[in-house]
Structure 1
């Protein structure tokens, strides 16, 4: 059994010993996770129908084959997310003292590698089709005594597959940012690729119907390039996070602002001369080491250190595991935030 300190998100075991880090999200984020789980199950249901429908009508079209493979790949991110959310709530232990939050990062990497590999395959396969001038045969259906071009069925199926990913992707991107969950963010990216694939494939098949045979391979090449781009971008971000790079925003294009907020908060304490944080992304939460240089006449008492740790935990729910370390000078890897600090000679300066 464990008891929850609801103010600071810390747990104690049955003997009253403090555990590092949270094992539960705040109520608002817990509700967001429930919504995300529902969306992922809806996504899987939509994909089952889409994959089956595309398989029935795709024939020998390269664009349709690329779209079908892309839809199969789209199962990976939601499945990775559903597995990760079941793992990350396991409490820290002696074997895993940092908890199991890295499951999100591992899931992100798995989904990203799948995108990268299959995107590369589709680009090569489609390029070969263009180079060899392969003319895709699109047959006909006999329905109620009428002969109907199979391309019409392809176009209708692909256009019907567009609204679902548009709606689901917009909903997921909002939740991904709220939860700082990069698997969910990658899945929203995949949904964007899905609807773009639907439109591109419909255009490619229509081009074949107009006698432009190369439209089909060109559409398949566009789909493959889109998947490859998403794969490269997501693999880069996943590897960056797993190799303990300084924590960044969910888009991965800049350092996370909570780092500077935390440093400024620590620097605001009257007993702190300088403070700087070393922060890494654990998957959807952050592990922070806050280094503080105390004022010469202010001994770093345990109560002060614990108060700073607790107040840092209150700043942002992502600050899941915080260690406050008193030091004589800041490590070179940190720089102390943006607050106005006192130099050795008493002159104010601003770190940037």
Structure 2
């Protein structure tokens, strides 16, 4: 079902799509530079793989944003709003998978006591330590994600967009990877063989932690859990406020709330269904975000919700 969104939200969606195209272009150039100078450094390998995986959230966001506004069809009579939930799961799986894989790689290198070697290359007739070229590439790899992540975060909050939020976390992982990689390369140059793998391990742990959090949030949404806060596993404040507002409007009612993509839907039982409900009157929070609540349905008289159900439980 195509919904009319506020003009400012539509503008944010358009801006988010432009940012994701910029992400593919900038991070694609970072991947190319990192591949050229990677050598045998574990930290550089970690940074390169992480940069490649960081393209996935941008891609799935662009695909999801194209489909979620399509009209319902005979094969998909409820529309495509939940394609955004699926995209969120894909992005979270990518983030968690790369974190787990890279953490395993770094731990293996430390256990095996692998000593990376960073040699010399000829540049304009002069011998130059390859480590300096790696550091320059890593410095470049830090700049785009710092800028992109900073811009995306407030847009993700306004859009209540888990994919864009996961993408901004991936960008944070990108620049953390770059900084830790610089430390690892310099550490190897100073003779600390373990610095390279240790830096890769620290990077990987941070990526894995963010990935697991995003995965828990995406899973909760797909199994009709109460809406979670953006980037966190706790129930969202506006979800609790909506439940409280519906209970106040319909005393004695049992209420449960779920999220489909960006939108909230409430189900009410234990009270007679009114002729109509003004969603704007129900929404308790900032009127700017009222577009999120799109439906309040009433269980037919005599019907009940699960007697064991408790509102607000994860």
Whether the aligned pair in 2 keeps the contact of 1:24 and 1:89 (CA below 8 Å) is: no
Counterpart in 2 of 1:62?
A: 42
1:252 equivalenced with 2:226 (yes/no): no
Whether the aligned pair in 1 keeps the contact of 2:279 and 2:294 (CA below 8 Å) is: no
Task: Report how many residues are paired.
Answer: 307
| Rounded Cα–Cα distance in structure 1 between residues aligned with 2:308 and 2:156 | 29
Segment drifting more, 55-64 vs 222-231: 222-231
Counterpart in 1 of 2:294?
A: 320
| Rounded Cα–Cα distance in structure 2 between residues aligned with 1:213 and 1:336 | 53
Q: Please show how residues 1-352 of structure 1 align to structure 2 within 5 Å.
A: 22-267=2-247, 269=249, 272-291=250-269, 293-294=271-272, 304-309=274-279, 311-312=281-282, 316-325=290-299, 327=301, 331=305, 332=307
| Rounded Cα–Cα distance in structure 1 between residues aligned with 2:221 and 2:96 | 18
The alignment's TM-score, normalised by the length of structure 2, stands at: 0.89
Inter-CA distance 281–66: structure 2 relative to 1 (3 Å threshold): same
Would you tell me which structure has more helix in proportion to its own residues?
A: 2
Q: Deviations over 1:182-232 (max 9, x none)?
A: 000100110010000000000000001111111111111122222222222
Q: Deviations over 1:145-186 (max 9, x none)?
A: 211000001011111221221121121111111111100010
Would you tell me which structure has more strand in proportion to its own residues?
A: 1
CA apart distance, 1:289: 1.6
Q: Which runs of 5+ in 1 are unaligned?
A: 1-20, 295-299, 338-352
| Rounded Cα–Cα distance in structure 1 between residues aligned with 2:218 and 2:245 | 29
Whether the aligned pair in 2 keeps the contact of 1:259 and 1:277 (CA below 8 Å) is: no
Inter-CA distance 260–94: structure 2 relative to 1 (3 Å threshold): farther
| Rounded Cα–Cα distance in structure 1 between residues aligned with 2:248 and 2:98 | 51
Aligned CA-pair RMSD: 2.4
| Rounded Cα–Cα distance in structure 2 between residues aligned with 1:73 and 1:215 | 24
Q: Deviations over 1:108-155 (max 9, x none)?
A: 111222222222221112111111111111111111221100000101
Inter-CA distance 273–231: structure 2 relative to 1 (3 Å threshold): closer
Inter-CA distance 148–81: structure 2 relative to 1 (3 Å threshold): same
Inter-CA distance 127–67: structure 2 relative to 1 (3 Å threshold): same
| Rounded Cα–Cα distance in structure 2 between residues aligned with 1:336 and 1:47 | 42
Q: Secondary structure at the match of 1:305?
A: coil
